[in-house]
A = this chain, B = another copy of it.
Amino acid sequence: MFEQLCIIGVGLIGGSIARAAKAQGLCKQVVAYGGDKHLPNLQRALALGVIDGFHTDIGAALNGSDCVIVATPVGTLPAIFSAMQPFWNSQTIYSDVGSTKASVVEAARSVFGDVPSNFVPAHPIAGAERSGVEASTADLFNDRRLIITPLDDTDTAAVEKLSEFWRRIGSRVALMSVEHHDTVLAATSHLPHILAFALVAMLGRKDEQHEIFKYAAGGFKDFSRIASSDPTMWRDICLANKDELIPLLQQFQAELGQIERRLQNGDAQALFDTFSYARQARQRFLDTFDDHS
């Protein structure tokens, strides 16, 4: 499918793309780029067989690559695009894996003027609380969703080829607008991560913290799992999508304030109605998406 796949940033996601592409025979070789400070990580990726080679010079890594996927935290994208610009090749397909798309498009626009038509913004909805190349697996994207957010000018053939690439490593590909993606992901992913981080941080400061964690029931353990996610990545995501997140955070605080008043007033019926509505909403969607989506 590709001669040489170049992965910029070989962490959990980048490493898993490399492993999956090799496992499915989608490219002849995988090279990686990382800055000097990432040298130990690149060496580890090579030793693990995740990649076939690496460069700490971005021009060398891009040279001969007909598909380039940027898999670094979204906060680094402006600098990465700037470094890539001198080597930009109209025959190559470029993509990314950022969890926020408006910020990625904005970064591309700030560097290139117009977003290049051979840059295809993408986001695999997969991850884990672990991070780093050691956590990467060839099946991370299996049966997971991959969202592509093409712009008006994005090359259709590039979108189709990248879609096929992701499908062949197991993903279920969908297309939507940048704005819609960021609205939906703020609700379904970014806000829940903030809630988990905030709850675990708050409880971790309490005198009873030892017993709080000791007696944590199943629900809280599930809930708090995502608080182990990479703090750098999530700092970048939250800042990049803050225009969507801030109103949601305000709405959620209002929601909690309402529940607080219902508790104060002993308004049993209203509490029951809210809990019941939530249970029904979840059941409705479990029924609709009963396909391990």
Interface residues in chain A, defined as those with a beta carbon under 8 Å from any beta carbon in chain B: 75, 125-128, 145, 147, 174, 176, 180, 183-185, 187-189, 191-204, 206, 208-220, 222-232, 234-235, 238-239, 242, 245-246, 249-253, 255-257, 259-260, 263-264, 266, 268, 271-272, 274-286, 288-289, 293
Q: How far is the CA of A223 from the CA of B255 in the complex (A)?
A: 17
Copies, count: 2
Which residues on the B side are within 8 Å of A210 (C-beta)? 288
Contact A217/B260 with A223-B196, A235-B272, A253-B253 known, Cβ cut-off 8 Å:
no
Closest CB-CB distance, A120 to chain B, in whole Å? Answer: 18
B215 contacts A188, C-beta separation under 8 Å: yes
- Distance, CA A280 to CA B129, complexed state (A): 12
A191 → B minimal CB distance (Å): 7
Which residue of B218, B235, B293 contacts A268 across the interface (Cβ within 8 Å)? B235
Cα distance A286–B286 in the bound complex, in angstroms: 30
Chain B residues with CB below 8 A from A223, complex form: 192, 195-196, 222-223, 226
A217 engages B255 (CB within 8 Å): no
Can you name 8 A-B residue pairings with CB atoms under 8 Å? A180-B208, A187-B212, A188-B212, A201-B274, A229-B275, A246-B263, A253-B257, A256-B256
